[in-house]
Structure 1
Amino acid sequence: MAFTGVAAGMVAMPGADFAVVVRHALDSRRAGVAAAVGVAGGLLVHTALAVAGLAAVLVAVPALFGAVQLLGGVYLLYLGVGALAAAVRRRGTPGDAATAPADSPAARPATAGRSLRQGFLTNALNPKAPVLFLSLLPQFVPAGEPALPRTLLLATMVVAMALVWFPAVALLVDRLGSWLRRPRVTRALEAVTGALLTTLGGILLVEVVLA
């Protein structure tokens, strides 16, 4: 029960994953759910690394950890700048995406494959996730019990929670779509998610430079 509460808080905490799912859900329900499944897939990678003990190698080799951190920071900056640019484009466009020309960026919703890929990479390239799992999972393995079966169970619980939480977020955003897709609201959401992703990416890059 204690682990369930900790894991639920960890999964539901707003961050890059949340921002990416919301942004894709604004395009369509399918894109939002695909991004949510991609995030869960990234969590599956991290939990598998922690269970296998490979996360310990990542922590023990500073150069490897720094490389992953650099990639993650650059990718989040890429997504953040893209969201900010979309907000600027919408600001200069009278009306919403439905009134935009058919070949304009605003009129081309993200495909499910692209959304899945962005959700996966956003989570998988988070260098702090394997460290978190590596430090968290062993705390909930009772003394004297085999570590592998218990960590597998705990890791499965985390992924299952992500598969419930993030698609629920995507469906809620889609449910509120008629309001959220109003031009001003969409611009605000694009700007907020872009600022969040850019800030998180910048923090990762600064940590690499200062390390």
Structure 2
Amino acid sequence: MDGQLIAFTGVAAGMVAMPGADFAVVVRNALDSRRAGVATAVGVAGGLLVHTALAVAGLAAVLVAVPTLFGAVQLLGGGYLLYLGVRALAAALRRPAVTTDRAAGPAATAPAEGPRPAALLGTTQSLRQGFLTNALNPKAPVLFLSLLPQFVPAGQPALPRTLLLATVVVAMALVWFPALALLVDRLGIWLRRPRVARALEATTGALLTALGGILLVELALA
């Protein structure tokens, strides 16, 4: 039994499932529609594929070793997260906190699913948002560059092993993030109630804005 591979699988599962920008953007888009959520999830996995491929090829080391290049990625990543966060906050402000259909009478307070918003996000746009959110994360190359070699047993060829580890990470993402999107959609009867949907939109927007701001502040202080 490959104990190192089992240990890496556990580490990868925790790393993928940890709430962060990827989590926030998948939840936010899944509130829009199931298709948007799943497309965003696949985009996140695509971003992870880029990072793991760079780590396997050794290009992540170049990114880390060249401060200007790393700073450019950090600027793009922070700016993009800030953009997504501000958009989500603006959408939360526009979203009504209560049902405004007076004709519905008492039925408006019944525990029914809130109105699903019109298809604001297309599949391509959602896929792109998920991909860019992950691919422009400047800390991911550092993480994979430092993590993958630790799980290559001594005496084994590095390339096949790191390819296997990279596959495990991407497979985890392809399971976790679509499952998260489907769970959010499944819980839509509660999550799309006006007050709850507004709170979730505001929370994910605040998280994305904070993460983007942290990246930009770190860049400014570097």
| TM-score band w.r.t. shorter chain | over 0.9
Instruction: Write the mapping of 1:34-49 to structure 2, written as runs, cut at 5 A.
Output: 34-49=39-54
Cα offset, 1:94, TM superposition: 5.0
Counterpart in the other structure of 1:120: 131
Alignment check: 8 A CA contact 1:95 1:183 kept? no
Cα offset, 1:107, TM superposition: 3.2
Q: For 1:165-190, what per-residue CA distance to the aligned partner results, in whole angstroms no more than 9, with x for missing partners?
A: 00000000000011100100000000
Match of 1:136 among 112, 132, 147: 147
Counterpart in the other structure of 1:60: 65
Q: How many Å separate the matches in 1 of 2:170 and 2:17?
A: 12
Match of 2:24 among 16, 19, 25: 19
Q: How many Å separate the matches in 2 of 1:140 and 1:186?
A: 42
Q: How many Å separate the matches in 1 of 2:29 and 2:126?
A: 7
Q: How many Å separate the matches in 2 of 1:108 and 1:3?
A: 39
SS in 2 for 1:107: coil
**1:88 and 2:70 are equivalent in the alignment:** no
Counterpart in the other structure of 1:159: 170
Q: How many Å separate the matches in 1 of 2:68 and 2:10?
A: 34
> Structure 1: which 5+ runs fail to align?
100-105
SS in 2 for 1:159: helix
> TM-score, normalized by length of structure 1?
0.94
> Structure 2: which 5+ runs fail to align?
1-5, 102-113
Alignment check: 8 A CA contact 2:97 2:198 kept? no
**2:178 aligned partner, one-letter code:** P
**1:62 aligned partner, one-letter code:** P
Instruction: Write the mapping of 1:97-116 to structure 2, written as runs, cut at 5 A.
Output: 98=115, 107-116=118-127
Q: For 1:112-148, what per-residue CA distance to the aligned partner results, in whole angstroms no more than 9, with x for missing partners?
A: 1110000000000000001100000000001111000
Dislocated runs of 4+, deviation >3 Å: 91-99
Counterpart in the other structure of 1:190: 201
Root-mean-square deviation (CA), in Å? Answer: 1.5
Alignment check: 8 A CA contact 2:78 2:215 kept? yes
Q: How many Å separate the matches in 2 of 1:91 and 1:192?
A: 16
Structure index of larger Rg: 2
| Percentage identity across paired residues of the two chains | 84
Cα offset, 1:92, TM superposition: 7.1
Counterpart in the other structure of 2:157: 146
> TM-score, normalized by length of structure 2?
0.89
Aligned length: 205
Q: How many Å separate the matches in 2 of 1:109 and 1:171?
A: 18
